[in-house]
């Protein structure tokens, strides 16, 4: 499991080390493959560090280097909270919705709620319920009460609840329908983030 260093100095050193590794790949190969996932691990470190200037710079660099990256749920959650801290509330809301749809268990898990149903067809290993347990305790503790309230308010809103419920409904029946129906349902599931684009 990913661990967060225990001092600010060590966190900054870890971020610098990861970023240097990514830039080294870019220099040597002209692209970044990042099989280790360093690009994702920097986000929780930045959240714990709470250096908003560095967070803004990294998000801009990340978007330039990985414009089509699907992301990783914990990284996406950290990014949405950082955007919220930066005052970009609408962007943060869109990012939170993307987080929710990347792992439908993660937001309920934050509040200690029932995170079922289990056994639904997932989009990736990142979408499994046990992926929530990869969130370092330091990251959870760095989320303020106000930020948890914002996340819960979003999650309980009609637009979030409808998308969350429909994602689960579709995922539960994908293996029970014809191929033609399956394609239509997958297209619908893949489009569930579209109503949130007004926030982006």
The CA distance from 14 to 138, in Å, is: 15
Contact 110, 142 (CB under 8 A): no
pLDDT in tens, 145-194: 999 999 999 999 999 999 999 999 999 999 899 999 999 999 999 999 99
Closest-CA residue to 81 (of 151, 16, 21): 151
d(CA 144, CA 56): 19
Q: Identify which of 65, 74, 86 has the alpha carbon closest to the alpha carbon of residue 42.
A: 74
Give pTM, 2 decimals. 0.94
Residues of the chain with pLDDT under 70: 1
Amino acid 1: pLDDT: 64
């Amino acid at each position: 499991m990913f661990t967060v260093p225990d001092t600010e100095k060590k966190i900054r050193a870890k971020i610098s080390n990861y970023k240097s590794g990514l830039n080294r790949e870019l220099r040597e190969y002209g692209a970044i493959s990042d099989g280790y996932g360093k690009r994702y691990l920097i986000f929780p470190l930045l959240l714990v560090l709470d250096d908003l200037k560095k967070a803004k710079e990294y998000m801009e660099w990340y978007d330039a280097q990985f414009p089509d990256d699907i992301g990783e749920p914990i990284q996406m959650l950290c990014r949405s909270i950082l955007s919220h801290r930066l005052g970009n509330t609408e962007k943060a809301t869109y990012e939170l919705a993307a987080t929710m749809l990347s792992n439908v268990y993660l937001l309920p898990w934050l509040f200690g709620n029932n995170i079922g149903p289990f056994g639904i067809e997932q989009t990736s290993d990142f979408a499994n319920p046990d992926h929530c347990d990869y969130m370092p305790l330091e990251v959870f503790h760095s989320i303020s009460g106000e930020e948890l309230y914002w996340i819960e308010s979003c999650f309980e809103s009609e637009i979030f609840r409808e998308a969350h419920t429909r994602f689960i409904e579709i995922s539960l029946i994908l293996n029970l329908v014809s191929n033609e129906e399956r394609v239509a349902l997958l297209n619908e599931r893949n489009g569930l983030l579209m109503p949130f684009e007004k926030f982006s």
